[in-house]
């Protein structure tokens, strides 16, 4: 079964750090680009970060310089290290697989259930 | 930066009716990168449509996508009770590289 399972969320004080993990199973993890997407309470989905199969990465402007995405293909896992957290980072964080279809089409086809991050004093 | 605007914000319909959801881009974009997702509270988002009009694996044929350029549409031909959810369109841009979601359309039972 294709599956992504996030972990590592919790309550953290402003300015603190947290590391999220996403464990993949049921597919050849090393062949896929991976994403982190978040949803703040009462808000819509927001893309956070992307990592290619080779490890190159990009970030949304809202987290650039504070968040670092990484992956360990031997452990079939992708990570999100979040530093200098702010109240506005409070959200459910989802990891997702980037599927490449024929003719250059692409979309996020597999998603985890999410892990909640709360930034509050 | 391409902005995606979805309309309406909320759509109130009854089971059996037809739903038409709109996603408008602030500038012309490749339909290759336009996707639609369904999201229910407490669940993982679910991919419905990719490439503007291709149904994802396991998606019923009552869901269809269309459009090109700046205007894209998700149509649900006959609503089932399980279709009431929030729907997002999403696109990828290469310069600067990144992904954007629309603000969502909430489809609620009338």
- Judged by CB atoms closer than 8 Å, whether chains meet at A108 and B44 is answered as no
Question: Does residue A38 register a pLDDT over 90?
Answer: yes
H or E segment and range at residue B22 = strand B19-29
At a CB cut-off of 8 Å and minimum separation 6, what does B41 contact? none
Question: Does residue B94 register a pLDDT over 80?
Answer: no
Cβ proximity of A29 and A73 under 8 Å? yes
Structure tokens at A53: 């199969």
Structure tokens at A97: 């697989």
pLDDT at A102: 86
Q: What is the rounded average pLDDT of the residues B12-38?
A: 94
Question: Does residue A34 register a pLDDT over 90?
Answer: yes
Question: Does residue A1 register a pLDDT over 90?
Answer: yes
CA dihedral sign of residues B68, B70, B76, B81: positive
pLDDT at B95: 74
Q: What is the rounded average pLDDT of the residues A104-120?
A: 95
Q: What is the rounded average pLDDT of the residues B89-100?
A: 86
- Give the model's confidence band at B98: pLDDT under 50 very low, under 70 low, under 90 confident, else very high: confident
Q: Chain A contact for B98, CB < 8 A?
A: yes
- Judged by CB atoms closer than 8 Å, whether chains meet at B45 and A50 is answered as no
């Amino acid at each position: 079964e294709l599956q992504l399972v996030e972990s590592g969320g919790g309550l953290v004080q402003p300015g603190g750090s947290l590391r999220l993990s996403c464990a993949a199973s049921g597919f050849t993890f090393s062949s896929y680009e991976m994403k982190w997407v978040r949803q703040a309470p009462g808000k819509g989905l927001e893309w956070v970060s992307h990592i290619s199969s080779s490890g190159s990465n990009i970030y949304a402007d809202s987290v650039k310089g504070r968040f670092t995405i990484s992956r360990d293909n031997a452990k079939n896992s992708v990570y999100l290290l979040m530093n200098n957290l702010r109240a506005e980072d409070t959200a459910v964080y989802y990891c997702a697989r980037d599927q490449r279809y024929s003719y250059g089409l692409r979309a996020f086809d597999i998603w985890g259930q999410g892990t909640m991050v709360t930034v509050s004093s | 930066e391409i902005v995606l605007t979805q309309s309406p914000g909320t759509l109130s319909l009854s089971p059996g009716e037809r739903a038409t959801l709109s996603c408008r881009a602030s500038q012309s974009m490749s339909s290759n990168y336009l996707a639609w997702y369904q999201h229910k509270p407490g669940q993982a988002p679910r991919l419905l449509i990719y490439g503007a009009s291709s149904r994802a694996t396991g998606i019923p044929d009552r869901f269809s996508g269309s459009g090109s350029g700046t205007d894209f549409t998700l149509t649900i031909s006959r609503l089932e009770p399980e279709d009431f959810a929030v729907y997002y369109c999403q696109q990828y841009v290469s310069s600067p590289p990144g992904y954007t979601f629309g603000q969502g359309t909430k489809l609620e039972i009338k």
